[in-house]
Amino acid sequence: MSELTKDTIPAISVSQLSHSFKGHQALNQVTFCVLPGTIHGFVGPNGAGKTTTLKVICTLLKPNWGEVSVFGHSVRGDTAAVRRMIGYMPDHFSMYRQMTVYEYLDFFAAAYGLGVTQRDQVITDVLTLTDMDVRRNDLINGLSRGMQQRVSLARVLVHDPNLLLLDEPASGLDPRARIELMEILRELRRMGKTIFISSHILSELAELCDSVTIIDRGQVRFSGPIDHLLDNSQDHPTYNLKLADVIPDVLPKLKALPGVEEATEPEFVTGRDFILQLSPSTTANEILRSLLSLEIPIVAFSQQRRQLNQAFMDLTTRGVRS
């Protein structure tokens, strides 16, 4: 995964982006950054502003306010350069269904200015990458939804963009097709592509993405590494404690430790596993020192992590309340 340094040019930089439609505030000072060579999830409920943001990044929509750049090129002032760098796959796409797969890709490769000889090699490469080479002469109309998604992804790749913008790419796919699509995206990341993916399928994003932005009602609720989101970052951090042996009367001792607000035993577990809920000001190092002072044999001590679904619900619910 790429690391942010002072010399890093973000793949996407969005700063104070705002946009309205007929008096409706679709985006309100949206700010986030996507590092090159990463997969970044863009998550939000229907109507949150995801597609509007994607259209601004793609230069299909001019924002009312704010700055957006792709690899340092402004979507306002350097539209042509931005379009050469991106490949956009919308959530609903039109396909020329009476064309074969090869004809469809050849049409778009020609539109991007590739010569005949170059087009043939590029089409072969993208069909191999998307595992559709054996279907190159099939009519698009006869393909399954999952295969059509692969053809659409192959079309996005024909001009070798640095940044892929995918709006709900797994929508309507069966579980096997989703898994296969996600593996293709991982391979594209290994090739150095940056992937910005909007999706409601939160469990898949948790395994796929390096970082995530959660947007709700036109505002960013969280943006950063997915590990930071999944850490239990609520007001009262919670830790799992595992002891090597069952120790009589250890629970009252745990409850009495400074900084421990609650100590409990999980159900159906025998005397060696405990859950410690700490006060907001207590650090992991402080509580670990206190535990060691009890001279009890500790096997494991780790912070609980939230599931992405839970984090999403917490953040969007918090946004509604505010």
Say yes or no: 271 and 202 in one domain: no
Residue 321 falls inside a structural domain: no
Please tell me the total count of domains within the chain.
2
Domain contains 318: no
How do beta strands 39-43 and 211-216 pair? parallel
Note whether 220 and 257 are same-domain residues. Answer: no
pLDDT of residue 284: 86
Global confidence as pTM: 0.78
Question: What's the CA gap between 147 and 136, in Å, rounded?
Answer: 11
Supply the pLDDT for residue 270.
67
Say if residue 206 is in the same domain as residue 276: no
- 167 in the same domain as 109: yes
Q: Do residues 207 and 290 share a domain?
A: no
Residues whose CB falls within 8 Å of the CB of residue 197, separated by 6 or more in sequence, listed in order: 39, 40, 41, 42, 164, 166, 169, 185, 205, 208, 209
Do 281 and 148 sit in the same domain of this protein? no
Per the listing, tokens 């596993």 go with 273
pLDDT digits (tens, 9 = 90+) for 74-94: 999 999 999 999 999 988 767
For residues 220 and 150, what is the distance between their CA atoms, to the nearest angstrom?
Answer: 31
Give pLDDT, residue 27: 96
The pLDDT score that the predictor gives to residue 88 is 94
First to last CA, the chain: 34
**What tokens does 21 get?**
């439609």
Same domain, 138 and 200: yes
Report how far residue 303's alpha carbon sits from residue 41's, in angstroms, rounded to the nearest whole number: 24
Residue 58 identity? C
Ranges of residues in the chain with a pLDDT under 70 are 1-7, 93, 201, 203, 231-235, 267-270, 305-307, 317-322
pLDDT score of 322: 36
CATH of the domain at 86: 3.40.50.300
pLDDT of residue 200: 74
According to the model, what pLDDT value does residue 57 have? 97
Residues 140 and 248 grouped into a single domain: no
For tokens 């006060």, the residue is 279
Residue 253 lies in a domain: yes
Does residue 309 fall inside a structural domain? no
Task: Return the DSSP state at 112.
Answer: T
Is residue 313 in some structural domain? no
Distance, C-alpha 240 to centroid of its chain:
27
Model pLDDT, residue 318? 54
| pLDDT of amino acid 54 | 95
Distance CA 193, CA 211 (A): 15
Integer Cα distance of 178 and 158 in angstroms: 22
Q: Which domain holds residue 298?
A: 238-303
> How many CB atoms within 10 Å of residue 141?
12
pLDDT at 320: 47
